[in-house]
């Protein structure tokens, strides 16, 4: 047997290790891609919540009405396309309190609480970890504005 025949004999494998490496790297790549999509969607949700809290605080500061401020928050969430309920349960709530901070500087503070749904809750199920991600992640954003009704009311 010459050297050329020995080299050819070594190359006559089935390619199983290449197949397994391809499958593992594809699965890992899909998990990483899924995590990137989840985190970028959560960043988008937080950005929308900041805008909603700002809008709610501004409306509460002008009108002094919590229900109108709640409607402003709901409108902002609707315009952004965020789901407001899941399985019959509301995903968001708002708390509004008027506080005085400092030497008679009244302000309205609005906190928006949102349970952001996860896009791929079963992302790790293929790797043997069923239901390893929660269905929702709670996010709270607070905004404040000068209470204009304090200065305009008599």
Contact criterion met (CB below 8 Å) for 51 and 82: no
Query: Which of the residue ranges 2-6, 16-20, 42-46 has the most confident prediction, judged by mean pLDDT?
Result: 42-46
- Identify which of 67, 72, 77 has the alpha carbon closest to the alpha carbon of residue 56: 72
31 CB contacts (<8 Å, ≥6 apart)?
Answer: 123, 124, 126, 127
With a cut of 60, say whether residue 15 has pLDDT above it.
yes
What's the whole-model pTM score?
Answer: 0.74
Residue 120's pLDDT band (boundaries 50, 70, 90)?
Answer: confident
Instruction: Report the pLDDT averaged over residues 85-103.
Output: 73
Res. 3: pLDDT tops 70: no
pLDDT grade for 27, boundaries at 50, 70 and 90: confident
Spatial distance between the Cα atoms of 67 and 93, rounded to a whole number of angstroms: 12
């Amino acid at each position: 047997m010459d050297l050329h025949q020995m080299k050819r004999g070594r190359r006559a494998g089935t390619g199983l290790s290449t197949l397994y490496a391809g499958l593992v790297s594809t699965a890992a790549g899909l998990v990483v891609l899924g995590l990137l999509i989840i985190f970028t969607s959560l960043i988008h949700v937080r950005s929308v919540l900041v805008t909603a809290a700002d809008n709610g605080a501004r409306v509460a500061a002008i009108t002094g009405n919590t229900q109108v401020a709640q409607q402003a928050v709901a409108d902002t969430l609707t315009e952004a396309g965020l789901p407001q309920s899941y399985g019959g349960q509301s995903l968001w709530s708002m708390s509004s309190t008027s506080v005085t901070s400092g030497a008679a500087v009244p302000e309205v503070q609005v906190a928006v609480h949102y349970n952001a749904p996860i896009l791929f809750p079963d992302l790790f199920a293929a790797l043997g970890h069923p239901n390893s991600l929660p269905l929702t992640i709670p996010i709270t954003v607070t905004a404040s504005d000068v209470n204009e009704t304090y200065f305009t009311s008599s």
